[in-house]
Structure 1
Amino acid sequence: MTTPLIELHAVSREYGEGPPALDRVSFSVRPGEAVAVLGPSGSGKSTLLNLVAGLDRPSAGTVTVDGVRVDGLGEAASARYRRAKIGMVFQFFNLLDDLTVADNVVLPAQLAGMDRAEARARAADLLGKLGVDRHARAYPGRLSGGERQRVAVARALMNRPALLLADEPTGALDTASGEDVSALLTELNAEGQTVVVVTHDLALARRCTTRTISLVDGRIADDVSAEPAR
């Protein structure tokens, strides 16, 4: 049996008074899966993503990713974990406007201590693969939303992460650009990349994932595997 890449066991997250953001959530994700975490605002999606990314700690339960007990990491170890294991794609790209496209993509490798020439070569390869290599010397503000998201994906893949986390990756894009990014995520998964997409968009989930986990009030309401509509 394949060892899960992600495994959450009885995970809860509480913030002071009131109901928990997550309430005894348990599930696993196998290497190579494409999973969507669905739910309305306030359902616990962002909290779940932050726990898997090591940006937050659970109040109870365990979070294990690629053999690492993420819930037990300190701040410095969490940062190293993200550099080594996680690629993150955000709704609003989070690119640095004062760096060129190529420098944005290279940045994670520099932080991880990769050789400069190797990092530049990998960045060029990723930008070419994702169809934005002609913008390598441009600044992000000169690019369309879809192009910026492709650059963000290149940056996320720079350190060959075990897991790609995408937080509402098409939320700031027009329909055509959103479909392009969905197709890109589908292609990456077909090549073996494990992908978890956090979204409220059922159509996006159906296009680029084969499994949907639905959250309601911090609990798993449904966990369904199916062939995506492509």
Structure 2
Amino acid sequence: MTTSAPPVIDIRDVSRTYGEGPPALAGVSLSVRAGEALAVLGPSGSGKSTLLNLIAGLDRPSGGSVTVDGQRVDRLGEAASAKYRRARIGMVFQFFNLLEDLTVADNVLLPAQLAGTPRAEARRRAADLLAHLGIDRHADAHPGRLSGGERQRVAVARALMNRPALLLADEPTGALDTASGEDVRQLLAALNADGQTIVLVTHDLGLAESCATRTIELVDGRIVRDSEDVRGTPAVAR
């Protein structure tokens, strides 16, 4: 008998409160399979960023459990959380978070250096990523010389450097013009088609429609809609 693989993300009855205010998340349960591209939608203050931070191990729930790629993230201390992010998570942000005094290649290499990857192996991996993402000609340039779309491609390459089980993207098109935003949409869709599991937080319905195999909508810290029919059947992880 064939046993189905465990989910990449398994969140069970998670709540998160801050002080005396209403909960940022209230009893959220969510399972994400390998190869899914999940878009998290909702108004400002709905709990989207809190959910992403809990998955990334940047915050801890007030109750419930968060398991990612077999790791109980909610039980990790600070040092273990940092190691978990290096090994299992790639993160892409709205404003790129690239180091302007480093070249494109050195920005991409940074996660591998922090993880202790041998230098020659890391350089081969970085060169392959830059070529695959179409930005190898900018390897020796500094990020300030690149367009917004190109900088986001560098950020994606950096996020993929350590072959993460999960790519998290927080408003990845939020700081981009229309053309650059479309470029990033196509890139994320292609990565998911290649088997990369993705969770993205966005206000961009076009991004969700073009990239996601599934969407959830958060309102007041609760999931009010969960649809797996945005772009068809999730890709099979390779």
TM-score by length of structure 1 reads: 0.98
Identify which of 120, 123, 135 aligns with 2:123. 120
Matches within 5 A, 1:148-163: 148-163=151-166
Q: Percent same amino acid at aligned positions?
A: 78
1:2 to 2, 5, 8: 5
Q: Tell me if 1:52 matches 2:52.
A: no
2:173 is the alignment partner of 1:134: no
For the aligned residue pairs, the C-alpha RMSD in angstroms reads 0.8
Any residues of structure 2 matched to 1:1-230 within 5 Å, and which?
A: 1-228=4-231
Distance 1:149 1:13 in 2: 30
SS at structure 2 position matched to 1:79 = helix
SS of the counterpart of 1:8? strand
Letter in 1 for 2:118: D
The residue type equivalent to 2:174 in the other structure is G
1:2 and 1:107 mapped to 2: Cα distance? 31
- Structure 2 CA distance for aligned equivalents of residues 120 and 203 of structure 1: 35
Mapped partners of 2:7, 2:124: distance in 1: 32
Q: Deviations over 1:198-220 (max 9, x none)?
A: 11222210110010010001000
Q: Secondary structure at the match of 1:24?
A: strand
Determine helix, strand or coil for the equivalent of 1:12: strand
2:235 corresponding residue in structure 1: none
User: Separation in 2 of the partners of 1:34 and 1:188?
Assistant: 10
Aligned-partner Cα distance in 2 for 1:217–1:175:
30
Report Cα offsets for 1:170-197 as digits up to 9, x if no partner. Answer: 0000111101101100000011100111
Deviation at 1:42, TM superposition (A): 0.4
- Contact kept, 8 Å, 2:215 with 2:230, in 1: the verdict is no
One-letter code aligned to 2:128: D
Structure 2: gaps spanning 5 or more residues: 233-238
CA distance in 2, matches of 1:4, 1:30: 4
In structure 2, C-alpha distance between the alignment counterparts of 1:202 and 1:177, rounded to whole Å: 16
- Distance in 1, matches of 2:231 and 2:95, equals 25
Residue type at the aligned position of 1:61: G
Deviation >4 Å, runs of 4+: none
Deviation at 1:40, TM superposition (A): 1.0
> Which runs of 5 or more structure 1 residues have no equivalent in the other structure?
none
